[in-house]
Amino acid sequence: MVSKRKKLPTRSRQTPASSGRSPASHSRIRGAFRFLVTKWWLLVLLVLMIPVGIHISVLDARVREQFEGKRWELPARVYARPLELYSGMGITPENLTIELSALGYRESGELYNQGEFQRKDNELYIKTREFKFWDASEPSRMVRVRFQGETVQSVTEVQTNRNLALVRLEPKIIGKIYPNDNEDRVLVSLKEVPQSLINALLAMEDRGFFEHYGVSVKGLIRASMANLQAGELVQGGSTITQQLVKNLFLSPERTFDRKINEAAMALLLEWHYSKEEILEAYLNEIYLGQDGNRSIHGMGMAAWFYFNRPIEELSLSETALLISLVRAASHYNPRKHPERALSRRNLVLDSMVAQGFLNYEEATRAKESPLGISEESTDTASPYPAFLDLVRRQLRQDYREEDLRSSGLQIFTTLDPYLQNQAERSMANGLKKLEKSTGRRNLQGAMVVTNTESGEVLSIVNGKNPRYAGFNRPLDAVRQIGSLVKPSIYLTALQNQRYSLMSVLDDTPYEWRDKYGKVWSPNNYDNRSHGRVRLHRALANSYNLATVRLGMELGLSKVIETLRKLGIDREFPVFPSMLLGSLGLTPFEVTQMYQTIATGGYRVPLRSIRNVLTHDGKPLERYGLNIEKRFDAAPVFLLNHALQEAVRFGTGRHVAKTYLADDMIVAGKTGTSNDLRDSWFAGFGSDILTVTWLGRDDNKPVGLSGGSGAMYVWGNFVQAVRPKSLAPVPPDHVQWRWVDYNSGNAVNKGGPNAIKMPFIAGTDGETLAINLNPVEQQLQQQVEQ
C-alpha cells in the first residue's frame, strides 16, 4: 500500500512589502553601509597620512632651516699684506712681475680683463682687480707703473692720465683655517659667474631646469637614452635641484627611502625658493676635486684651485672644463689625467652646440685652447706654516676656535711675501754653504723679520725646509742667547749719569763664588783680557770680562728690570752667568727685546694681524699700534751708536765688509752660547729688524760663532733686500763732541786721537784717561777713517 507523504506548507520569500519595509528604506540602508565603509577607509587613509604629513613637515622645516641659515662652514681666509705701489718704491720690474704672477695675474697683449698685465720696456701696464679692503673698496683700473732703475718713478691711471699717490693690489691668500670637515670653498654670487659656465651646466646636467618643479621624469628618460647611445655617462638623470638636495641635506647612501626623501625635498626646495637661489647654492656646493685631505667645493674655489684666478675671469674653455668635473672630479682630474679631461671638456662644448648655447665656430676655437691649468694647486697648505701658526696663536686671544674654523673670517696679516721668499732663500742657501764649509750636518735655523716702527711681523722662517709644518723654532725653540743679552746691561749703565760711551771699564779676570764655594770664572772669546777699555768698545767687541764686571757693579736686579722693560716676560734663573746670556729665549722673544731698542725705547708688541672682517666684509677687529714708552730716547740713542760700531768695527766687521755697502748704516749684535751651540745675530736699519738663529735641534755644538754663522745668513738677506740705512737723529739732550780718545777730554776736530762721540747733555760720565793697547789702536784708526 502506497502511503501518501504529507505535503508541507511552502514558505514564500518575504518581500520588502511583505516585511513591512519600503524600497526607499532598503536604499537608505545600503547608502548608510557604503558611507560607513567609505568613512572607514578615509579614516584609515587619514591615519596613514598623519606620519607622512609629519615626515613632510619635518623635511620642510629641515630644508628651510638649513637653506635659509648657515648652509656651510666656511674656512677663515688669511691674507698677506697688500702690495702697495707708489712713487719712490724700491722694486724692479722683474720683481713686480713675480708678485703679479703670484696673485694670479696673466701677461696679455690686450688688457681687456681684470687680472692682466703687459710690460713695455721700463713700464708695466696693469689691469687691477677690484677688492674690498677693511677701510675702503679698491676699484679696478688700468694703471701704468714707470720705473727708473730699481725704483718706481711714477704710478699713473691710464684713463685719466692722473698720477696716483698709492695703488693697492689685492693681497695674496697665504693660508686658511679649515672646518673640521676640511671642505674648502669660496662663495660666489650668481652675477659673478660667467654665463658660459651656467650654459655648460644646463647642457650637461639639467636642460629643463627652468621648466620643471624639482623632479623631471622626462629628463630621467632622456638622460638614460642619451647615455645608452653614447656608451658612457654623458647626461645625468637627477635634476640640479635633486643633486643639491643630495649634497646639501642627505647622506651618500643609495636606498629607496633616500630617493623618496630626495624627490620630496627637491619639490619643497622649489616650492620655497627661486630657481636663481637654487642655482647659486648648487654652484657653491658641488664637489670638484680633492687636494690631500682638503676637498674642493664650489665653482669659486675650483677656479682658484685649477686656474689660480677668480671665476669671473675664466674663458669659455675653462668654464667647460670645470663643468666636466661635476660628474666625476677624480676621474677627470686635469692634473692627473689631462687627456681624459680634454676629451670630457670637448664633450661639454659639443653638448652646448647641440642645445644652441654655442655655434660651431665658437666651440671649435675653445677646443683648440689648452687646458690652461696652473702649474700647481694654490692653497694646498699654507706656504708659510710658521707664520700662520703665529697668526692663529694671536687670533685665539680674541676668537673662539669654532669661529675661526667655520665663520669665513677674512684675516688680513702683515706678512710680506717678497721678504719672506728672500729670507727663506737666504736661510736655505746659507745653511747649505755653512754645512759644506764646516763639514757639520743637521744645521737648522730660524729668522724673524719685523718693521722697526710698527712691530709688524713681515717674515718668519723655520729651518731649511720652511714649508714643513713641524716644530716652530722661531716661536718655540728656547735657546741660550749668549751676548745678545749685553745691550740690556749697557743700556742699564747708560741710564745712569755715571756712565757714558767713553766711560772706562775693567776687562780683567773675574771670579764669583756661590754659597757652596763653587767658583765661576768667565773668559773672553779670544781668551785674553784687554785691561782698561772704553764702554762703547767693550760692547762693540763683546768683551765678557768687562761686561760681567759692569753688570755686577750695576746689580743683577737692575739688569733684570731693564730686560723686563725691553719686553722679556719669561722667568729665568738669576745668576751672574745671565750677564753672558745663559738665559734661554726663543727667536721671537729676542725680536721683541730688540724691537724696543730699534724703536728708540718704545715697546711695540709684535703683531701679525692688521684687521679681521666677517665673511661679507664687515669690520670686526682692527689691530692698531700699541706703543708704550719704556726708556728715555737719549740712552737708547747712545746704545744704538755702539751697536753700529759693533757691526762695522766690532764682532760683525768681517761680514759687514763683505755684504754691506760702505754708506749703509745698520746696528746689530752677535751672540754665541757656550761650546758654540747657538749662533745669533740681531740687526736693524731704519725699516726692518732681523733676528737670526742657527743651531741644531739636539743642542749639540755647531762650531759657529754669531759672526761666522747667523750673521753670515743675515748678510745674504740684507744684500738681497737692501734695507734702508739708519739716519740717526739725536734726541733732545744728546750732543756730539770731539774728544781725545786717550784722555777723554774735549778737543778740536782733527786731533791725533780725536773721535766724535754722542753724550747726554750735562753728563760726561767717567771719561778717565786710558792707554790704548795695539788692538784698540787699530780699531780706533778704523773708526776715525
The rounded distance, in Å, linking the Cα atoms of 516 and 434 is 42
- Take residue 475 and report the three cell numbers written for it: 716661536
Sheet with 162-163, edge to edge strand ranges: 106-107, 116-120, 123-127, 142-148, 151-157, 162-163
Which of 553, 562, 540 minimizes the C-alpha distance to 483?
540
3-state SS class at 613: strand
Question: What count of other Cβ atoms lies within 10 Å of the Cβ of residue 181?
Answer: 12
* Active-site position among 205, 285, 313, 589: 205
| Cα–Cα–Cα angle for 80, 81, 87, rounded to 5 degrees | 145
- HSE on the CB side for 181, CA within 13 Å? 10
**Helix 417-438 with 710-721: angle, nearest 10 deg:** 140
Q: Is the separation of the CB atoms in 67 and 245 below 8 Å?
A: no
Question: What count of other Cβ atoms lies within 10 Å of the Cβ of residue 46?
Answer: 10
Q: What is the DSSP string of 154-197?
A: EEEETTTTEE-S-EEEPPPEEEEE--TT-EE-----GGGS-HHH
- Take residue 373 and report the three cell numbers written for it: 691649468
* Active-site position among 406, 426, 483, 708: 483
553 labelled catalytic: no
205 labelled catalytic: yes
Report the first-to-last Cα separation within the chain, whole angstroms.
Answer: 175
The number of angstroms, rounded, from the C-alpha of 17 to the middle of its chain's C-alpha atoms is: 100
Strand pairing of 504-507 and 531-534?
A: antiparallel
What are the residues whose beta carbons fall under 8 Å from the beta carbon of 684, sequence distance 6 or more?
452, 594, 597, 598, 666, 667, 668, 690, 726
The rounded distance, in Å, linking the Cα atoms of 339 and 347 is 12
3-state SS class at 488: helix
In eight-state DSSP terms, residue 407 is B
Q: Is the separation of the CB atoms in 758 and 728 below 8 Å?
A: no
Phi, psi at residue 540, to the nearest 5°?
-60, -40
Residues catalogued as catalytic:
205, 483
